[in-house]
């Protein structure tokens, strides 16, 4: 999501090349990226990735490619207007646009970026039924995905920013009506947001839906780079973009709790990033961890953390902080 905003195309292609060299074979993006979302950069990330594929024959076949269709507008009327309800036609049209920008004939994993229905997400904690409004049903969304799968444009489907109810309903209706079954859910999962463990982990385990953990570094808070300066300056997107600071990651409680984990890491001879990433990399709940970087050096640091093992003592200390601080970036 940094490609096209913080990262220009040449740098992005160097990061992608290095990813392949290091054994990375899964790339995730979305039609609304780059972030923070702006009309001028909508689709830029997909375009940059598509140009990377086009530059080298056979490159596309070396990776599992995932992207997402945006849900109803969240202050982004430039995507499909303010009245989008994620209809069948909108899903199909969005997929066609992603295929063009990505310069590919097929998307390996096509995900619904956030639910069409009213749900507590992106920092909201409580479900409010009075906010319900008309939108395409889960059944209709599955029918749209089925059409794309049958046409050979999509291989598998997934969800993102979903709830236990949503995952279960998508699975139930798919099985009931012979429609494509969701393979994955992409939700936040990191030391300052373990809300996935509040029921969704059981749902996914029992329905055999895999977690793609996003924001394992808590939008940079779990790297330690904000510990001394706070969310100011020019050293990360939380500092660079005011819109980012207004999100759950910008809460004072999120930064304060991240500092506790970062201190714990250093006390055990680890960098904050190593602790945060190893927590996700080695967790039984996680099928794959999605990292976002702005340089090759950041990429190497994230991938090097793969070899870090967390002791039972350290995992216990992590759980102690979580018990006291809960999930401030939920």
Q: Which residues are catalytic?
A: 33
Pair 69, 91: CB distance under 8 Å? yes
The backbone torsions φ and ψ at residue 107, rounded to the nearest 5 degrees and listed phi first, read: -105, 125
The backbone torsions φ and ψ at residue 329, rounded to the nearest 5 degrees and listed phi first, read: -100, 20
What lies within 8 Å, CB to CB, of 302 at 6+ separation is 217, 273, 277, 291, 293
The backbone torsions φ and ψ at residue 143, rounded to the nearest 5 degrees and listed phi first, read: -65, -40
Handedness of CA 32, 153, 81, 123 (dihedral sign): negative
What is the C-alpha to C-alpha distance for residues 288 and 212, in angstroms, rounded to an integer?
5
CA distances from 247 to 221, 227, 252 (A): 13, 18, 11
């Amino acid at each position: 999501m940094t490609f096209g905003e913080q990262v220009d195309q040449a740098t992005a292609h160097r990061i992608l090349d290095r990813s392949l060299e290091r054994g990375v074979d899964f790339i995730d993006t979305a039609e609304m990226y780059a972030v923070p979302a702006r009309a001028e950069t909508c689709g830029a990330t997909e375009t940059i990735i598509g140009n990377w594929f086009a530059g080298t024959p056979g490159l596309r076949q070396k990776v599992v490619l995932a992207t997402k269709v945006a849900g109803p507008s969240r202050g982004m009327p430039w995507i499909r207007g303010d009245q989008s309800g994620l209809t069948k036609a909108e899903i199909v049209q969005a997929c066609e646009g992603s295929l063009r920008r990505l310069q590919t004939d097929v998307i390996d994993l096509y995900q619904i970026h956030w639910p069409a229905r009213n749900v507590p997400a992106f920092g909201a904690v409580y479900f409010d039924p009075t906010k319900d409004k008309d939108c395409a049903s889960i059944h209709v969304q599955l029918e749209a995905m089925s059409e794309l799968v049958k046409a050979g444009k999509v291989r598998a489907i997934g969800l993102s920013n979903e709830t236990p109810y949503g995952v279960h309903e998508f699975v139930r209706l798919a099985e009931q009506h012979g429609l494509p079954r969701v393979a994955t859910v992409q939700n936040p999962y990191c030391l300052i947001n373990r809300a996935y463990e509040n029921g969704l982990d059981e749902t996914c385990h029992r329905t055999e839906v895999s977690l793609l953990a996003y924001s394992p570094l808590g939008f940079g808070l779990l790297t330690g780079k904000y510990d001394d300066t706070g969310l100011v300056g020019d050293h990360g997107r939380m500092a660079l973009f005011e819109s980012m600071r207004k999100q759950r990651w910008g809460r004072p409680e999120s930064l304060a709790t991240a500092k506790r984990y970062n201190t714990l890491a250093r006390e055990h001879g680890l960098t904050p990033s190593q602790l945060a990433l190893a927590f996700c990399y080695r967790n039984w709940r996680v099928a794959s961890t999605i990292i976002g970087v702005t340089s090759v050096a950041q990429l190497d640091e994230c991938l090097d953390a793969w070899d870090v093992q967390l002791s039972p003592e350290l995992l216990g200390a992590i759980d102690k902080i979580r018990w006291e601080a809960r999930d401030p970036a939920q």
